[in-house]
Structure 1
Amino acid sequence: MNKLSEMHCFVAVVDTGSISEAARRMGTAKSVVSQRLQQLEKRLGSTLLERGRQVRLTEPGQVFYGHCVRILADVEDAEDAVLAFQSSLRGNLRLSAPMAFSIRYLTPILAAFAVRYPQLRLDVEFDDRYVNLHEENFDAAIRIGQLPDSSLVAKTIAANRHVICASPAYLAVHGTPQMPAELANHFGLLYVHREPHGMWTLPVDDVLGSFRVRCRMRTNNGHQLMEAAKAGMGLAILPAFLATEAIVTGELMEVLPEFAPRGGTISMVYRQSHRGSAKLEALANFLSEQIGSPPVWEQLLAQP
């Protein structure tokens, strides 16, 4: 049995958490995946996975998984180096992307990218968690917001402006705040990844301040925040790419625009070892071209 095939199989099971899901992703039978895992563990003389409703890594399995991810990435880089001499992109490209941005904008762009490069196989997972590119089997990730210092390479795709907004019906009943200090008298809709403690961090005279709002809803989903705001439940901080259409149609109104929180950027990040990858360079350029400068949602807001 080819050692690389065993590694691919093992990594797929770990990434999906399931032998059957790994088999589906690899386009093979569940029995084939199980057999490869058994042969791998027999050859290594160690149990790598604990089988159950969801497979779990043993301690030796964790060590082996980290090595497998790096080795498979090196193999992919070696192939990319050769494929770069060809006019058409080939091979696999595994991408992690956040849910809210993907639903409205990224999914049609990735579909068009796949059509342009028919010999390139995309494997895209949509999840708001930050995947670890050094330990998980992803080539790149789309990140939104302020990027922390890291060894990753970052390609800026577009600016990510935030807006504070509410429905006209909510503002008619509760009034429109003029200063952040007034937020204490308003209901707020909180995004748990950004506001876990019920406080909004807003810039006032270029200094960041913390302001409490009366929590009406907490969620980890940007679309849920927007729908709750449109329903008149309270004020919400939303990325402009999500709120634009509702603002244009009058379902939402922007408030406290001069105190809107900093949104950072929309970026594509990848490991230093992937620098120079023709596939990633093509994807970053395609995303920038399709989103535009300024981004298409900002162009929509600017229309008379």
Structure 2
Amino acid sequence: MNKLSEMHAFVAVVDTGSISEAARRLGTAKSMVSQRIQQLEKRLGCILLERGRQTRLTESGEVFYRHCTAILADIENAENAVLTSQSSVRGNLRIAAPMAFGMRYLTPILASFAKQYPELSLDVEFDDRRVNLHEEGFDAAVRIGELPDSTLMAKIITPNRHIICASPDYLGAHGTPQLPQDLAQHFALLYVNREPHGMWTLPVNDALESFRVRCRMRTNCGHQLMEGAKAGLGLAILPTFLAAQAIVDGELIEVLEPYAPRGGNISVVYRQSQKGSHKLHALSSFLSEQIGSPPIWDQMLATSSQSRQ
């Protein structure tokens, strides 16, 4: 039995969480994948996978998986090295991305990316939920915020800066908060994916503290959050990629600037087994080039601030 075939089968089972899904991804029979795993374990003399409702790695399996992904990535890199950059970016690429950022910035960028690589077929899904790359068949996901520890690889595209802001009308009627403790007297708009318990978590003296706010609106949509703030419903925490134009146009004003919450980064994440993928390298490089550092929306804010001084 070919050792590389065994490795491919083993990595596919780990990445998908099941033999049947691995067989579907590899385009082979479930019995063939099962046979390759059994022969691999017999040859190595140890159990690599614990079978059950969901296949899990043993301690030996974790060690072998790390080496397999590195070996398979090296093989893909070797193949890519003899291909031209244009011709090697081809095939299918399935991407998941958050709705607000996707609609505001990614749609034109991904269209340009697809135009640059005519042999590449894109499958893009916009949704604010965090998809499971292992179980749902995505090649990559654009993630915003702090990344939890996981087996996924991550390529940081740019920092994701957050601000607290409100409309001039709201601040004129309710006053401008000077300290986080003032938030108890203010109405606020809550993003349920970040603030499910109705509290804002802000950095104070290098530590994170939680503050109760008076909820005026709850939503899972960043655009709804911004429109509510522009309408004068209350204070909102917004990423600058959403708020920048409204700040420049005077529709929103930043407040409590020293206590702006942490926003993490905008990153592309993918499975370890794909770290040598030329398609993913091309995608992350293209996003970095198009978005810039600092990102184009923060450059817009800096230019506007300088012109007002």
* TM-score range normalised by the length of the shorter chain: 0.7 to 0.9
**What residue ranges of structure 2 are gaps of 5+ in the alignment?**
1-16, 28-68
How many residue pairs align between the two structures?
Answer: 241
Q: 1:105 is paired with a residue of what secondary structure?
A: helix
Matches within 5 A, 1:19-38: none
Tell me what 2:108 maps to: 108
- 2:281, 2:18 → 1: CA distance? 31
Query: Structure 1 68/189 Cα, relative in aligned 2: closer, same or farther at 3 Å?
Result: farther
- 1:195, 1:108 → 2: CA distance? 30
Q: Is the 8 A contact 2:76 2:277 kept in 1?
A: no
Tell me what 1:51 maps to: none
Q: Identify the match of residue 71 of structure 1 among 19, 26, 34.
A: 26
Q: 1:149 is paired with a residue of what secondary structure?
A: coil
Q: Is the 8 A contact 1:146 1:263 kept in 2?
A: yes
Tell me what 1:302 maps to: 302
Query: Structure 1 221/244 Cα, relative in aligned 2: closer, same or farther at 3 Å?
Result: same
Deviates more, 1:77-86 or 1:255-264: 77-86
The yes-or-no answer on 1:166 pairing with 2:166 is: yes
- 1:86 positional shift: 2.7
The yes-or-no answer on 1:152 pairing with 2:172 is: no
Tell me what 2:60 maps to: none
Q: Is the 8 A contact 1:229 1:236 kept in 2?
A: yes
- Cα deviation digits, residues 26-77 of structure 1 (max 9, x gap): xxxxxxxxxxxxxxxxxxxxxxxxxxxxxxxxxxxx95653246536x9x98
Q: Which amino acid aligns with 1:228?
A: G
Query: Structure 1 99/220 Cα, relative in aligned 2: closer, same or farther at 3 Å?
Result: same
- 1:135 positional shift: 1.2
- 1:83 positional shift: 5.8
Q: 2:129 is paired with a residue of what secondary structure?
A: coil
Tell me what 1:229 maps to: 229
Tell me what 1:19 maps to: none
Q: Is the 8 A contact 1:99 1:128 kept in 2?
A: yes
Tell me what 2:132 maps to: 132
- 2:264, 2:292 → 1: CA distance? 17
Matches within 5 A, 1:16-95: 63=18, 65-68=20-23, 71=26, 82=79, 85-87=82-84, 88=86, 89-95=89-95
Q: Which amino acid aligns with 1:209?
A: E
- 1:67, 1:92 → 2: CA distance? 17
Q: Is the 8 A contact 2:77 2:276 kept in 1?
A: no
Q: Is the 8 A contact 1:84 1:278 kept in 2?
A: no
Q: Is the 8 A contact 1:81 1:277 kept in 2?
A: no
Tell me what 1:24 maps to: none
- 1:136 positional shift: 1.3
- 1:95, 1:201 → 2: CA distance? 30
Query: Structure 1 124/81 Cα, relative in aligned 2: closer, same or farther at 3 Å?
Result: farther
Tell me what 2:58 maps to: none
Matches within 5 A, 1:130-279: 130-279=130-279
Q: Which amino acid aligns with 1:71?
A: L
Query: Structure 1 80/135 Cα, relative in aligned 2: closer, same or farther at 3 Å?
Result: farther
Query: Structure 1 79/121 Cα, relative in aligned 2: closer, same or farther at 3 Å?
Result: farther
Q: Is the 8 A contact 2:133 2:139 kept in 1?
A: yes
**What residue ranges of structure 1 are gaps of 5+ in the alignment?**
1-61
- 1:134 positional shift: 1.3
- 1:80, 1:223 → 2: CA distance? 41
CA RMSD of aligned residues (A): 2.0
Tell me what 2:281 maps to: 281
Q: Is the 8 A contact 1:69 1:136 kept in 2?
A: no
Q: 1:148 is paired with a residue of what secondary structure?
A: coil
- 2:294, 2:91 → 1: CA distance? 32
- 1:274, 1:185 → 2: CA distance? 50
- Cα deviation digits, residues 94-126 of structure 1 (max 9, x gap): 000000001111110000000000110000000
Sequence identity, in percent? 68
Query: Structure 1 134/232 Cα, relative in aligned 2: closer, same or farther at 3 Å?
Result: same
